[in-house]
Amino acid sequence: MHKYILEIMVRNIFRKLLLPLALAHALLPAEAANLLYFGTSQSEGIYTAVFDSEKGKLAPISLAAEINSPGFLATHPNKQYLYSTSAGFEKSNTGAVAAFRVHEDGSLSLLNKQPTLGRSACHLSIDTNGQTLIVANYSSGNVSAFPIRIDGTLAPASSTHQHIGSALDPNRQKEPHPHSVCIHPNNRHVYVPDLGIDKVMIYELDPWRAKLTPSGFADVPGGNQGPRHMKFPSDGKRAYVLNELSLSIASYSVNLKNGDLVYIDTQSVFTNGMAAKGMSCAEIRIHPSEQWIYASIRDLNGKGRDLLSTFQRAADGSIKLIANTPAAVYFPRNFNIDPSGKWLIVGGQRSATLAIFSINQDTGALTLKSADIPFEGQPICVEFLQ
């Protein structure tokens, strides 16, 4: 215990002294502002490319680091480190999270790996100070937190919390399935949408100790909702939860003092308001201007119905669906918006291709620029370094 407390004290002293310097002096190439990484499955590892935000063009994609099943990625605030979920440790039957150093040429070198203390690590997030990494373990139904050392390596998990319960869907909701980790902009609370129990679990965050403390939950009303991913605008006053099973977005107001979520409404991701059979939602992103919200819809049956939905966001935080656009890939599990806000890049998990859309800066409308960009393996996460 004394050794652990001493490690925390030393780590925090170094962070206070060195983190500002690291942020100011991170040695990255000029292209780094548009450097992006791809988490994958059924491929050799993490891939990288430089994206030209003036032309909307992607440079040749190359292998950045070899690692087994680096599904989801997260970037450290100082841009010097990248983290990924990974295939686990067979002897302990647990998932894994890996830490990498980012080099000037975009390549990655493995720093270390830690067991996630759960199965099927599917998503991870890093607090705004770069002190704590939190992982959602889908199959085992728990979340685990890890201290991030000053050298970017991960210490062993400092806390883990098991979700309990079930919901209505007999196939997908027999037990808890935390699907993502979303850290509030004020860095005081962590939110975990749990597909298996139709709840968003809420935790207090102590980033200095990498500690999570349960702080209640918010129901996702309606039954068979399957909350998957969620996002906050920069002021943190609203929360938008993407429901995989009901193909909808639930909106909440956020109590900035205690972290509670107050339900507002739920809106379909389809312009006709009808949830199509054999489809599910995957990712949600807020445009840098915060005027629009985008969501991806996957066709489970491969009938070419994959879509990207565009919502207009008003000044009061309310949203309105304005368009469905063909995704130009098969099974758009993930997509991202470049830092300039001009382009959206989507990965087709089953087509093993990428597509690039331009974003109209006045209306938020998506226009396909490039499709059928070949990809080695299955792209399942798109992460810009910035």
pLDDT in tens, 189-199: 999 999 999 99
Spatial CB neighbours of 152, under 8 Å, sequence gap ≥ 6? 76, 80, 81, 99, 101, 111
Task: Specify the pLDDT at position 87.
Answer: 86
The rounded mean pLDDT for the chain is 92
More confident residue, 196 or 11: 196
pLDDT the model gives residue 239: 98
pLDDT at 89: 73
Kindly list the distances between the CA atom of residue 304 and the CA atoms of 207, 217, 307, 322, 371, in Å, as whole numbers in the listed order.
44, 37, 9, 21, 14
CA 355, 360, 366, 372: dihedral to nearest 10 degrees? -20
Tokens 């499955």 -> residue: 41
Please report which helix (H) or strand (E) contains residue 96, including its range.
strand 94-102
Amino acid 90: pLDDT: 65
pLDDT digits (tens, 9 = 90+) for 67-91: 999 999 999 999 999 999 998 876 6
Closest CA to 165 of 192, 137, 199: 199
C-alpha of 288 from chain center: 16
pLDDT on residue 117:
96
Q: What is the pLDDT of residue 337?
A: 98
- Span 106-131, mean pLDDT? 97
Its pTM stands at: 0.92
pLDDT band at 26 (very low <50, low <70, confident <90, very high): very low
Residue-level pLDDT at 2? 40
CB of 298 closer than 8 Å to CB of 333:
yes
User: What backbone torsions phi and psi does residue 331 show, to the nearest 5 degrees?
Assistant: 70, 70
> What is the rounded average pLDDT of the residues 342-359?
98
Q: For residues 356-384, give the mean pLDDT.
A: 97
Query: pLDDT digits over 245-282, tens only?
Result: 999 999 999 999 999 999 999 999 999 888 778 999 99
Structural tokens at position 53: 């935000």
CA pair distance 135, 67, nearest whole angstrom: 18
Q: CATH assignment of 23-384, given 2.40.40.20, 3.40.50.10420, 2.130.10.10, 2.40.50.60?
A: 2.130.10.10
- pLDDT digits 0-9 by tens, 303-322: 999 999 999 999 999 999 99
Mean pLDDT throughout 174-189? 98
